[in-house]
Amino acid sequence: MSAKPTKFLCVCGARPNFMKIAPIMDALARVDGAETRLIHTGQHYDERMSRLFFDELGIPKPHINLDVGSGSHASQTAEIMKRFEAVCTEFEPDWVIVVGDVNGTMAAAITAVKLGRKVAHVEAGLRSFDRTMPEEVNRILTDSISDVLFATEPSGVENLQREGMTNGKVHLVGNVMVDTLLRHKSAAAASTILTTVGVSAKAYALATLHRPSNVDNRETLVSILDALDVIAADMPVVLPVHPRTKEKIDAFGLAARVDASAGLRMIEPLGYLDFLKLMDNAAIVLTDSGGIQEETTVLGVPCLTLRENTERPITITQGTNRLTGSSTNRILEAYSEMRRDPPAACVVDMWDGRAAERIVQTLLNCR
Ligand code: UD1
């Protein structure tokens, strides 16, 4: 590629992608002469899992929605590849930009590289070192074939170097999810969700659960719900429930017990602004999400991660995050400890709201 790149094909598809792609679309819109297309794979399709985020974050309507919907990993990945191939062939982008670690990230990257297109991976190098996580497989494969790798934290750069990526390819640029958080924090402050849910600032816990390793196994799910029940006796626990988790609660016959738990408030999935307001005002967050570990670090809110590992170690070494796994006792011990001695808030280097600008500038300089 000799001339300055002008054609960018951005890919998103599942809820955590939307807050990552938003600032990149915004930064590309400010580049003179750039022709940018946004492709939605359609992995997430419910109003509350997708369109709400486009509206709230001001993301332009996708040029094309591949409408792949739900399915097994193989069928979803294959459908994205088949449908994305046609789009990529027709548009002939200089750069395909993929974000995060969902199935569409990997599917689009593989398709683009095989068509001879250059791929930039945003949020590269994160490793949980747990290959039973589908996201870990997506990360490793995407990173191994991408032309440019944008890392959010130093551990990402180290992981990539250890895997043999040359320095010229890897750029530490900060965190696009934080760009979005900082941009929307004041709008989120106006949300009335605390009143709607019936909780007071800093007097409730916020929980999210969706990892297959936590919710697809009845015993593990019960172990976590047992812990939430005990915490709910201390302060209300708000649980915006992911569709996967809702399905499993129903399938395992746990709906009645969740309804019977006085302090546990299971609610529909929330939009970005309401969720940010709930996070910012929580006394503590319990989660198995990746992004929420980072968002609570930026907000200075204590976070218990209900997993044995994290691909985002900076949220522990510098942030407010602690790992608990899924055992009732370990969650409750960590809860008591964190209530007694909350971790101090900190500022992570380069998580300053300018990651997308750095990414776009780097791509414009790549010849
Ligand atoms: C996916 C990502 C995960 C990410 C998560 C965020 C992969 C491998 N996983 O997991 O990394 O953290 O999104 O939410 O890409 N469903 C609906 N409505 C929707 C979407 C899904 O009801 O709009 C239901 C379907 O029954 C589906 C199930 O939720 O089978 C799981 O959805 P899926 O996208 O396969 O995985 P997630 O658990 O959401």
Mean local confidence (pLDDT), 268-285: 98
Is pLDDT above 50 for 285?
yes
pLDDT at 21 over 50: yes
Measured CA to CA in angstroms, residue 52 lies from 10, 46, 49 at distances of: 19, 9, 7
pLDDT at 346 over 90: no
Q: Where are the domains of the chain?
A: 7-175+351-365, 185-340
Structure tokens at 35: 């022709």
What number of CA atoms fall less than 13 Å from residue 163's CA on the CB side?
Answer: 23
Residue nearest to atom 7 of ligand 1 (CA): 102
Q: Which of 183, 186, 191, 245 is nearest to 214 (CA)?
A: 245
Q: Predicted confidence band at 5 (pLDDT cuts at 50, 70, 90)? A: confident
pLDDT-derived band at 9 (thresholds 50, 70, 90) equals: very high
What residue owns the CA closest to ligand 1's atom 22?
243
Q: What is the pLDDT of residues 94-109, one digit of tens each?
A: 999 999 999 999 999 9
pLDDT tens for each residue of 291-317: 999 999 999 999 999 999 999 999 999
At 181 the pLDDT is 98
| Closest approach atom of ligand 1 to CA 102 | 15
Q: Please give the distance, rounded to the nearest whole angstrom, from the Cα atom of residue 288 to the centre of ligand 1.
A: 14
Q: Say if ligand 1 is within 6 A of residue 307 CB.
A: no
The structure's pTM equals: 0.96
Please tell me the predicted confidence (pLDDT) of residue 1.
47
Place of tokens 């054609």: 7
8 A C-beta contact, residue 49 and residue 41:
no
CA dihedral of residues 289, 290, 291, 292 (deg, nearest 10):
50
Per-residue pLDDT reduced to its tens digit, 112-138:
999 999 999 999 999 999 999 999 999
* pLDDT score of 272 more than 70: yes
Looking at residue 315, what is its pLDDT?
A: 98
Strand arrangement of the beta sheet that strand 264-267 belongs to = 264-267, 237-240, 205-208, 284-287, 303-305, 321-323
- In this structure, the residue with its CA closest to atom 3 of ligand 1 is 102
Nearest-CA residue for ligand 1 atom 13 is 14
pLDDT of residue 4: 79
**98 has which bridge partners?**
11, 121
Q: Which CATH number fits domain 7-175+351-365: 3.30.470.10, 3.30.70.1710, 3.40.50.10490, 3.40.50.2000?
A: 3.40.50.2000
Q: What pLDDT, on a 0 to 100 scale, did the predictor assign at position 177?
A: 98
What mean pLDDT value characterizes the chain?
97
Phi, psi of 329 (to 5 degrees): -65, -45
Q: Do domains 7-175+351-365 and 185-340 have the same CATH topology?
A: yes
- With pLDDT > 70 as the criterion, what percentage of the chain qualifies? 99
Ligand 1 pocket check for 112: Cβ under 6 Å: no
Q: Would you call 184 a catalytic residue per the annotation?
A: no
Cα 265 to middle of ligand 1, angstroms: 22
Q: How far is the CA of 33 from the centre of ligand 1 (A)?
A: 36
Ligand 1, closest atom to CA 50? 23
DSSP string, 47-66: GGGTHHHHHHHTPPPPSEE-
Topology, domain 185-340: Rossmann fold (3.40.50)
Examine the pLDDT at 260 and tell me if it is beyond 50: yes
- The finding on whether 244 has its CB within 6 A of some atom of ligand 1 is yes
pLDDT at residue 167, rounded to an integer: 73
Q: How many CB atoms lie within 10 A of CB 214?
A: 20
Q: What is the pLDDT of residues 189-239, one digit of tens each?
A: 999 999 999 999 999 999 999 999 999 999 999 999 999 999 999 999 999
> For a pocket test of ligand 1, which of 70, 307, 312 has the largest count of ligand atoms closer than 8 A to its C-beta?
70
Q: Is the pLDDT of residue 280 over 70?
A: yes
The conformation of residue 4, written as its DSSP 8-state character, comes to: P
Q: Which two tokens stand for residue 231?
A: 């915490």
329-359 burial: b if 16+ Cβ within 10 Å, else e: ebbbebbeebeeeebeebebebbebbbbbbb
For the Cβ of 70 lying below 6 angstroms from any atom of ligand 1, the answer is: yes
Give strand pairing partners of 122: 99, 150
Cβ–Cβ < 8 Å for 142, 105: yes
pLDDT exceeds 90 at position 367: no
Residue 2 has pLDDT above 60, yes or no: no
Q: Considering only CA atoms, give the Rg of the chain.
A: 20
Q: Token digits for 363?
A: 């791509």
Paired tokens of 302: 């204590």
- Cross-strand pairs, 6: none
N-term to C-term CA, the chain: 5
pLDDT band at 85 (very low <50, low <70, confident <90, very high): very high
